[in-house]
Amino acid sequence: MRKIMYRKHLLTTSVLALAALLIGCSSAHQYADAQESNQLDVDEPVHIVLAGYGPSTSSFSQGLTLIGNRLEAKFPDQVQVSYVYNILELGYSGASAQMDLVEKDALTMGYVTMSTGIPALEIAALPFLFTDNESVRAAMDGPLGQSAIDSIEANSELKILGFYENGFRHVSNSVRSVRTPSDLTDLKIRVLAIQKETLELLGAAPLVTALPLVYPGLTSGELEGQENPFENVITYRMFESQKFYTKTYHSYMSRPMFVHESTFNSWPIALQTEFQVAVDEAIAVQRALHDQAEIDAEDFIKEYGGEVVDLTAEERQLFVDAVAPIYANARAQYSPKLLALVGL
């Protein structure tokens, strides 16, 4: 156990060291800029609360820290930043509570995985659609991401400033090794709603479960497995009850970063501009941290005794073939113009 705890400490310090380097590099000019006159036309300091649903060491929280540091450096004494890194620790039933809290101005900015009901994000999450970070990031930073932004903003009081990367998802369970879809037969796998059909077609028995209930469900055996990026497996302690992991890369998901639109628009233009620049930098840093966190998390899983399967091209194709009906449904459900954004 001491070795595992030490390895977990190394995982955390590795991410933090990379965060310090990236944040330091991106912030070097911020403090120089702060020496200039950067006055906001405000009677009292603007209080900004940045929120999320992970520990302060996660790639997402490190991005929030970068944003806060930049704003306070740019506007000393005029902007005050505080953090609620993990709202789940405050008793909220799910991360989506942030949207309501932001719309009520209880929080300034949050982020959360979104997909269901947002056509562009539903398409982005289609199984085995993307094969690498470069192509999916280009899509989310381009017209597909803009379509998602337009859809969210048209149906809420939120303004989307960009997309954090939740990343590619993998399957794990406590029962047996998975190399073919038949190995998933009847396994009780926790999923997000957007992943339910995929896991059904792969033969599993998927259960849509709120995040706070996943750890106890896995521990009790009510859930036998789950699907997530490896970073999340460590963040939410799922590794404690999982033995078998398969690097399926079966879906990619983003976490939109949002503010209350009218509140944001009421700020001085200089603050709006600086906030957007800070978010853009945070996204770049978070993606780099996430890349490293996935490597470190996989290493930690193996140290903890987990077995990680890398599928061969032939094995992966079995999974791709099994979910083919989803694509027929997608072509009937979504507009040709939207599908064309991802080459469908």
Q: Given this model, what pLDDT does residue 93 score?
A: 82
Q: What is the dihedral of CA 166, 118, 224, 229, to 10 degrees?
A: -10
Per residue in 251-268, pLDDT tens? 999 999 999 999 999 999
- All residues at 6 or more sequence positions from 243 whose CB lies less than 8 Å from its CB, including other chains: 172, 173, 174, 175, 305, 306, 307
Per DSSP bridges, beta strands 170-173 and 225-228 are antiparallel
Q: Structure tokens of 138?
A: 């280009």
Domains, in order of start, for the chain = 2-164+254-298 (3.40.190.170), 170-250+299-340 (3.40.190.170)
Per residue in 186-205, pLDDT tens? 999 999 999 999 999 999 99
Phi, psi for residue 239 in degrees, rounded to 5? -60, -20
**Strand segments (E) across the chain:** 46-51, 79-84, 109-111, 158-168, 170-173, 188-191, 205-208, 225-228, 244-247, 252-260, 307-310
Phi, psi for residue 332 in degrees, rounded to 5? -85, -25
Q: How confident is residue 39, by pLDDT bands cut at 50, 70 and 90?
A: confident
Question: Across residues 213-227, what is the average pLDDT?
Answer: 97
CA distance 26 to 240: 36
CA distance 297 to 294: 5
Q: Given this model, what pLDDT does residue 32 score?
A: 44
Q: Given a cut of 50, is residue 183 above it in pLDDT?
A: yes
Find the radius of gyration of the CA atoms of the chain. Answer: 21
CA distance 108 to 264: 9
Pair 113, 95: CB distance under 8 Å: yes
Pair 164, 60: CB distance under 8 Å: yes
CA distance 66 to 81: 11
